[in-house]
Amino acid sequence: MELWEMTATDVAQRVAAGDVTARAMTEAALARMDAVNPAINAVVARNDDEALEAADAIDAARARGDALGPMAGVPVTTKENVDQRGFPTTNGLRVQKDLMAEADNPVVSNLRRAGAVIIGRTNTPAFSLRWFTRNDLRGHTKNPHNPAITPGGSSGGAASATAAGIGAMGHGTDIGGSIRYPAYACGLQGIRPTMGRVAAWNPSSPDRHIGAQLMAVSGPHARSVADVRLTLETMSVSDPRDPWHMPVPLDRGAYPKRAGLCVSPEGLATQPAVEQALRDAADRLKDAGWEVTEVESPPFREPARRQAQLWLAEMARGSRAAFDKEANADAMHVLAEMQKLTPEPDLNDVLDALQARVGFLRTWEEFLGRYPVLICPVSAEPPFRDLLDLENFPRVMEAQLTQVGLPLMGLPGMSVFTGFGTGEAGHVPLGAQLIGGRFREDILLDAAAAIEARSPAISVVTP
């Protein structure tokens, strides 16, 4: 096995044991980036010298006998919409190409403290708005499995890089599927944590409005469930700069091994290949001793509508001028299509959405008390042809129902890889979404590990 193929857990163990140096791991990751990134354009900013200095500091600490962090020597990437000192927080925008971060976002701080070595910054669509990854500043990111399909978005660069062996973990953010969908499209494991689990804040920018405060989260993409667990625990360390953060332990005790399976939530037209992936996941859980029952899901459609209202309220209040100034054709198209489906809300719409949120969360928590895991689609379709939203946005939006509906409640959701199949654009990864109760990511990780143990192994892919 090449060094760049190793999982984060293996790297951390081997660096701590002295079997490999952090510098060797970093050099291998940078060489892999040189070899494959030109084909996928996943990493769009790098600072090799800083990464190597960080690796050398870890090796020096080990030589002194100092305690090492839980991710010591693990090469990782960060998304270009979070602050990392010395880099611009572009969010895929030309108008932010000079927005230089002077301090780290708490997510970045926690990765550094744990000993992770940041080797690059990954691409995102303009405004981190789409399930596809292209912008006028950094260009177009491709899926290493199949360039005809999207790598997902908005964390498409993170997932593409991780799938191709550029780092063992790719940091992502999720307000409408932006961790879960890239993991699905790139054949990875990826988790959207509970709102408040991972502290996050960009010192370079004004605080976001209430919709994003309640719905936007940071989380990891990785090639193994163990790596997701390790990196999520690392990201979850308390930071006083985020008032929403909750210092809740990751492992929260016993639970009944019961899961609900819903193939077509609220009439979603789930395609056969996706249904098979869901039933495969359910069967693998059963084989692991779980009780799985086919059920109707709690609501997604009305939460999705309310989520879009809050999202559009934020754009109208704080981002519309930036949309006009950036003049990115893709983003303007998507915004116009969203406004067709959900007209711009007024104050009463926003207040009603916030009121409705409590009732939806109550319904979901009651359901998840009976079934601690819900198995449902990440998307109703296999990974889309790239840029399909520019041809048929309503089709794309409908297929992504479960991604858009979940964040309103702040609940955790995980995309788990189940294998490969055939989609409209040929060979594609497939998977299932697991949804759990607030701060019960431990249940999702346990279920995902059981599915992973009975699924094809995730291997690094060369584009």
308 phi and psi angles, rounded to 5 deg: -65, -35
Residue 316: which pLDDT band, with cuts at 50, 70 and 90? confident
Whether the predicted pLDDT of 248 surpasses 90: yes
Whether pLDDT at 318 is above 80? no
Distance, in Å, from the CA atom of 436 to the CA atom of 280, rounded to the nearest integer, reads 19
CA 42/CA 445 separation, integer angstroms: 26
Compute the Cα dihedral for 102, 108, 114, 117 and give only its sign. Answer: negative
Give the model confidence (pLDDT) of 135-161 as tens digits.
Answer: 999 999 999 999 999 999 999 999 999
- Spatial distance between the Cα atoms of 301 and 65, rounded to a whole number of angstroms: 55
DSSP calls for 99-121: -B-SS--HHHHHHHHTT-EEEEE
Sign of CA dihedral 348, 353, 354, 356: positive
396-432 tens-digit pLDDT: 999 999 999 999 999 999 999 999 999 999 999 999 9
Alpha-carbon dihedral sign for residues 282, 301, 91, 354: negative
The catalytic residues are 79, 154, 178
Confidence grade of residue 315 (pLDDT, cut at 50, 70, 90): confident
Instruction: Give CA–CA dist 301/402, Å, rounded.
Output: 8
CATH number of 3-453: 3.90.1300.10
Using the predicted structure, report yes or no on whether residue 231 has a pLDDT greater than 90.
yes
